[in-house]
C-alpha cells in the first residue's frame, strides 16, 4: 500500500464564487459554529492557538433555490448503458450506481454479478463495502451530535479520552473533534496503516500513536489518517454512552431509510445479498473473503451500503432531508479546512479537471473545472467506490464496484462533464454508437498506486 502523496506547502487560490459560498457558512446554535478556511497551508511550526476556530456566520443554505439546471444532453439512460458495458464479459464483476438530482432519485441500480464463482445479479439492494466513503458518515455522525449540543467541533479529544498520548504531550492536549475529521492531527500520512494491514489490533495501534513522529502541531497541517481518524468513534461512545455503530444506525441509517446499510464484517456477511470482493488472477477475476483489517475502524472504513442506500445518502447530503441533516450542518461538513494540493495529481480526470483541492470534515472539496465538487473515494482489497456532490446543480453521484479495476472511475467525470456542459473527454473504455460520447478505444491510463481508484490493494482512502 502506498501512502497518499504528501502535499506541497503552497497556497490554493479558489475562484471568487467558490470562496463566497464556502466561507460564509454557519450552524444554527451556539454549539454549531462553522469552521473557516482561507485556502492557505499553515506553517508546520505554527502554535496550536493559531488553529482556525469556529466563527459564527450566516446566510447559507445547502438546498438553495438558485441551483443551475443540468446541461442539455444529460441522459441518465446513457450513463446506465455505460455501467452495463463496464460489466460486460466480466471486465468488472459487479457495479452499483446511484444518481440524484433536485431531490429526486434518477437511478439506483446494480449491474453485473456478485461473485464470479456463484453468480447472482447485482441489484439496487446488493450491498458493497464503502471503505473510506465511511469517513463522510463519521463526520456526519459527529455533526448530528454537534447539532444537538452533545459535542462541539472544538471539543478536545482528551476530554473524552483522558489517557490519549502523542510524542508531544502538549499536542495531545490540543486535538479537537474537527482536527480528527479533517486529518489535521499533526501525524505523518497513513500512520500505522501498514501495521493494521498486517493484522495489528486497533487498540494497540492507538496506544502506539504515543511514539509516532509528527509533522506539525494539531490543526496546522494535513496528514491523511485511518487509525487516528477513527478515534472519533471513541469520542461518540464517550459522549453518548452508546457504541458508534449503534449511534450511526439509530441517528443516520434508520431515519434516512438506508435499510440495507450496515457496519463491519458481520454486517456485510449478514446482508441478504452482497457483492464479494475480487482480485486479479491469471485467469481473470477471483473472489476472495473480505479482508477484516480495516473493519476494525468503523469510522474510517466500516460502512457497507447498496445503491438504494447511497441514493438516500445523496439526497440527505444535497439538503433534501433537513429533518435529519439541517442545511447549515451540511454547509459546515462540506467546508474545506486545509488545502490538499496532492489531490490535483493522481487519476487522469483529477489531473485534467481539478485545479485546487481541500479537505473538509470527512469530505474532500475540489475546484472541478471552475465548479465546486464535494467528493470522496474509497479503496480496500477487492472494492472501490466514489461519491460526489455538485452543489450548484443539486446533483449527487455514487459509484461502487467489487473489484480492483480502475475502469469504473471514469463514470464520475463522464457524468460531471455532461452535467456542467463540458466538451466530451475520453474517460471510459466503452463503445457506443455515438462516437462523440466519451469513447476511448484504448486502455485508460491507470491510476497511481494508493489513489482512490488504484488497481493495487490499498488502504481506505
pLDDT tier, 11 (very low <50, low <70, confident <90, very high otherwise): very low
In a domain, 217, yes or no: no
- pLDDT over 80 (residue 61): no
> Mean pLDDT over residues 85-114, rounded?
97
> Mean pLDDT over residues 34-40, rounded?
39
Coil, strand or helix: which one is 255? helix
pTM: 0.85
Sheet holding 128-129, edge to edge: 128-129, 303-305, 262-263
Residue 50 has a pLDDT of: 39
Which run of H or of E encompasses 371?
strand 371-380
Q: Tell me the torsion sign for CA atoms 189, 191, 195, 200.
A: negative
| 331-360 tens-digit pLDDT | 999 999 999 999 999 899 999 999 999 999
State the Cα torsion 316-322-325-328 to the nearest 10°: 110
Residue 66 has a pLDDT of: 77
Percentage of the chain beyond pLDDT 70 is 79
Between 102-106, 228-232, 393-397, 431-435, the lowest mean confidence (pLDDT) is in: 431-435
Alpha carbon separation from 106 to 79, 99, 159, 194, 312 (Å, rounded): 11, 5, 44, 40, 12
CA distance 374 to 330: 11
Residue 137 vs residue 36, higher pLDDT: 137
- 3-state DSSP helix/strand/coil percent for the chain, to nearest 5? 35, 20, 50
Spatial contact of 87 and 93, defined as CB atoms under 8 Å apart: yes
Q: What is the DSSP string of 296-362?
A: G-HHHH-EEE-HHHHHHHHHHHTTS-TTTS-HHHHHHHTS--EE-GGGGSSSHHHHHHEEEEEE-SS
Spatial contact of 197 and 293, defined as CB atoms under 8 Å apart: yes
- pLDDT over 60 (residue 111): yes
Residue 311 vs residue 7, higher pLDDT: 311
In a domain, 302, yes or no: yes
Residue 7 has a pLDDT of: 36
> Mean pLDDT over residues 354-380, rounded?
98
Which run of H or of E encompasses 416?
helix 411-420
Between 64-73, 249-258, 434-443, the lowest mean confidence (pLDDT) is in: 434-443
| 193-208 tens-digit pLDDT | 999 999 999 999 999 9
What is the number of structural domains in the chain?
Answer: 1
Q: Which residues pair with 35 in a beta bridge?
A: 54
The residues, any chain, with a CB within 8 Å of residue 455's CB and separated by 6 or more, are 280, 404, 405, 406, 446, 447
> Mean pLDDT over residues 30-45, rounded?
37
Note the helical H segments in 36-116.
76-87
> Mean pLDDT over residues 115-129, rounded?
97
Residue 461 has a pLDDT of: 56
Q: Which of 32, 98, 142, 135 is nearest to 363 (CA)?
A: 135
- pLDDT over 60 (residue 322): yes
- pLDDT over 90 (residue 87): yes
In a domain, 215, yes or no: no
In a domain, 200, yes or no: no
CATH number at residue 101: 3.40.710
In a domain, 169, yes or no: no
Q: What is the DSSP string of 378-399?
A: EEETTEEEEEEEEGGGTEEEEE
pLDDT tier, 393 (very low <50, low <70, confident <90, very high otherwise): very high
In a domain, 163, yes or no: no
- pLDDT over 70 (residue 175): yes
Give the domain range for residue 72: 1-132+259-461
Residue 65 has a pLDDT of: 64
In a domain, 240, yes or no: no
Amino acid at each position: 500500500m502506498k501512502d497518499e502523496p504528501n502535499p506541497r506547502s503552497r497556497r490554493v487560490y479558489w475562484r471568487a464564487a467558490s470562496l463566497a459560498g464556502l466561507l460564509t457558512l454557519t450552524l444554527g446554535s451556539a454549539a454549531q459554529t462553522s469552521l473557516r478556511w482561507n485556502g492557505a497551508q499553515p506553517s508546520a511550526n505554527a502554535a496550536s492557538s493559531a488553529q482556525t476556530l469556529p466563527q459564527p456566520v450566516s446566510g447559507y443554505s445547502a438546498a438553495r433555490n438558485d441551483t443551475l439546471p443540468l446541461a442539455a444532453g444529460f441522459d441518465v439512460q446513457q450513463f446506465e448503458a455505460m455501467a452495463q458495458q463496464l460489466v460486460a464479459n466480466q471486465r468488472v464483476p459487479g457495479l452499483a450506481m446511484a444518481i440524484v438530482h433536485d431531490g429526486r432519485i434518477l437511478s439506483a441500480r446494480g449491474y453485473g454479478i456478485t461473485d464470479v464463482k456463484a453468480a447472482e445479479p447485482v441489484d439496487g439492494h446488493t450491498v458493497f463495502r464503502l471503505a473510506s466513503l465511511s469517513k463522510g458518515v463519521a463526520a456526519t455522525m459527529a455533526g448530528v451530535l454537534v447539532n444537538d449540543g452533545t459535542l462541539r467541533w472544538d471539543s478536545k479529544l482528551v476530554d473524552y479520552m483522558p489517557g490519549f498520548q502523542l510524542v508531544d504531550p502538549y499536542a495531545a492536549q490540543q486535538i479537537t473533534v474537527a482536527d480528527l475529521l479533517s486529518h489535521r492531527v499533526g501525524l505523518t500520512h497513513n500512520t500505522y496503516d501498514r501495521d493494521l494491514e498486517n493484522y495489528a489490533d486497533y487498540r494497540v495501534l492507538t496506544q502506539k500513536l504515543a511514539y509516532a513522529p509528527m509533522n506539525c502541531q494539531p490543526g496546522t497541517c494535513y496528514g491523511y489518517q485511518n487509525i487516528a481518524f477513527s478515534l472519533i468513534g471513541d469520542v461518540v461512545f464517550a459522549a453518548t454512552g452508546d457504541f458508534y455503530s449503534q449511534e450511526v444506525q439509530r441517528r443516520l441509517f434508520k431515519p434516512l431509510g438506508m435499510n440495507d446499510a450496515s457496519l463491519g464484517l458481520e454486517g456485510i456477511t449478514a446482508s441478504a445479498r452482497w457483492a464479494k470482493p475480487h482480485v486479479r488472477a491469471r485467469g481473470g477475476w477471483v473472489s476472495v473473503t473480505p479482508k477484516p483489517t480495516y473493519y476494525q475502524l468503523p469510522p474510517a472504513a466500516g460502512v457497507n451500503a447498496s445503491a438504494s442506500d447511497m441514493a438516500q445518502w445523496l439526497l440527505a447530503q444535497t439538503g433534501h432531508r433537513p429533518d435529519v441533516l439541517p442545511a447549515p450542518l451540511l454547509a459546515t461538513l462540506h467546508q474545506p479546512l486545509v488545502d490538499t494540493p496532492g489531490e490535483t495529481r493522481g487519476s487522469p480526470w483529477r489531473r485534467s479537471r481539478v485545479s485546487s483541492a481541500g479537505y473538509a470534515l470527512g469530505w474532500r472539496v475540489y475546484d472541478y473545472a471552475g465548479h465546486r465538487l464535494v467528493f470522496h473515494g474509497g479503496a480496500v482489497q477487492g472494492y472501490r467506490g466514489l461519491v460526489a456532490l455538485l452543489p450548484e446543480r443539486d446533483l449527487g453521484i455514487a459509484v461502487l464496484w467489487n473489484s480492483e479495476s480502475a475502469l469504473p472511475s471514469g463514470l464520475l467525470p463522464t457524468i460531471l462533464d455532461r452535467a456542467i456542459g463540458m466538451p466530451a473527454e475520453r474517460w471510459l473504455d466503452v463503445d457506443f454508437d455515438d462516437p462523440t460520447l466519451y469513447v476511448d478505444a484504448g486502455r485508460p491510463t491507470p491510476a497511481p498506486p494508493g489513489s482512490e481508484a488504484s488497481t493495487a490493494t490499498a488502504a481506505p482512502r
